[in-house]
């Protein structure tokens, strides 16, 4: 037993000396584990208590407990000393502060705001509608037959029979015309959903801005003028716009319109599929069947409708070469805008 007590005294002297010589918090933490940890020397002394006689166990146990308490007090005192030293460190108030990062709108929403501002300056009002639509508003009232490919499961996200995620913002046209008599001049920005495979210029979730103008004497020339005026305001006077004949069930005649690719300057890149043009969306004169669905007199009124892919306009505006970057939520990317 005397050997154990002598070992405890020797260990105590060495440990106290080491504690007194510790100069930083990191070294103190390491020594604390060495002294009080499960595999430390003090733990070995505790295990040795079971090997001495019953008469000697209280004395050995008391010595071990006293030493543990002594170490804990020394360590606590050292920790307090280091903490106080940190608080007393001199602060250099001349150093530049670390700037806080303030959040801002996503580049897509910035583009939506600018599109809205441009069309509001031309007399358009803002309209909105639900993302979850019915077959009637998304297809039937827009003169889209039941066998049209756009109504297939491969192209449209159906939630249940007759209910779907809208594939365009055109249903807002129908809802607006049901409630208001001509003249009607609206734009309807919002999210749309289609079963597209993501690539550099396609996304299954995307933003679209629908436009509609109905009044007496509205012509295709008015449509071309408003699209061209928008493009020049958004991208500058050098932007080129082209209209190509097309077919849409809800417009007649119908066109698709493209903007010249500002990313490659018309030379060709993967965003414009190497042809120098980026397809924006479709447009045309409102089909009389659509007017019939909302109770408008197609003999008296004419109108044009157009859509535009906000995502693709954002690509052009900020010289982004992949639409997927807009939806990956990489803060490093978003902070650039």
How large is the average pLDDT for residues 217-223? 96
- For residue 87, what pLDDT is reported? 61
| Model confidence pLDDT, tens digit, residues 152-209 | 888 899 998 889 999 999 999 999 999 999 999 999 999 999 987 777 767 889 999 9
**How far is residue 242's CA from residue 256's CA, in Å, rounded to a whole number?**
8
Is the domain 107-334 a CATH 1.10.490.10 member?
no
Taking each helix axis from N to C end, the angle separating 2-21 and 41-48, rounded to the nearest 10 degrees, works out to 160
Confidence of residue 8 (pLDDT cuts 50, 70, 90): confident
Q: Supply the pLDDT for residue 225.
A: 95
pLDDT recorded at residue 1: 53
Q: Which of 328, 306, 102 is nearest to 213 (CA)?
A: 306
Strand residues in 46-134 grouped as ranges (E): 125-126, 132-134
| CA 30 – CA 59 distance, rounded (Å) | 29
Between CA 143 and CA 287 the distance in angstroms is 8
pLDDT, tens digit, for every residue of 262-308?
A: 777 777 777 677 888 888 889 999 999 999 999 999 999 999 999 99
Write down the domain spans for the chain.
2-87, 107-334
Helix axes 25-36, 2-21, angle to 10 degrees: 170
Mean pLDDT over 40-66 rounds to 75
Q: Percent of the chain, pLDDT > 70?
A: 95
Query: What is the per-residue pLDDT for 277?
Result: 87
Q: Please spell the DSSP secondary structure of 51-75, one letter per residue.
A: GS-TTTHHHHHHHHHHHHHHHHHHH
Average pLDDT over residues 123-152: 92
Cβ distance 67 to 44 under 8 Å?
no
């Amino acid at each position: 037993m005397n050997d154990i007590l002598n070992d405890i005294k020797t260990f105590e002297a060495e440990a106290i000396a080491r504690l007194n010589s510790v100069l930083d918090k990191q070294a103190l933490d390491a020594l604390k584990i060495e002294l009080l940890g499960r595999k430390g020397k003090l733990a070995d002394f505790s295990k040795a208590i079971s090997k001495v006689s019953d008469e000697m166990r209280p004395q050995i146990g008391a010595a071990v407990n006293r030493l543990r308490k002594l170490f804990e007090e020394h360590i606590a005192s050292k920790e307090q000393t280091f903490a106080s030293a940190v608080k007393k460190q001199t602060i250099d108030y001349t150093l530049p502060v670390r700037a806080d990062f303030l959040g801002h709108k996503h580049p897509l929403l910035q583009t939506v705001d600018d599109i809205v501002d441009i069309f509001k300056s031309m007399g358009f009002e803002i309209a909105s509608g639900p993302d979850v639509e019915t077959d009637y508003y998304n297809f039937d009232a827009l003169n889209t037959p039941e066998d049209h490919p756009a109504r297939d499961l491969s192209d449209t996200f159906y939630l249940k029979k007759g209910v779907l995620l809208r594939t365009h913002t055109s249903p807002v046209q129908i809802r607006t015309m049901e409630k208001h008599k001509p003249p009607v001049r609206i734009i309807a920005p919002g999210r749309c959903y289609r079963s597209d495979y993501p690539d550099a210029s396609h996304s299954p979730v995307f933003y679209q801005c629908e436009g509609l103008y109905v009044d007496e004497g509205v012509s295709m020339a008015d449509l071309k003028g408003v699209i061209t005026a928008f493009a020049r305001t958004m991208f500058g006077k050098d932007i080129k716009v082209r209209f190509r004949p097309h077919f849409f069930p809800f417009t007649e005649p119908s066109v698709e319109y493209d903007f010249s690719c500002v990313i490659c300057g018309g030379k060709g890149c993967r965003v414009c599929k190497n042809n120098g043009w980026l397809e924006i969306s479709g447009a045309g004169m409102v089909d009389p069947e659509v007017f019939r669905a909302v109770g408008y007199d197609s003999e008296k009124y004419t109108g044009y409708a157009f859509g535009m892919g906000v995502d693709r306009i954002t690509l052009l505006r900020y010289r982004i070469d992949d639409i997927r970057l807009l939806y990956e939520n990489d803060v490093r990317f978003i902070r650039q805008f």
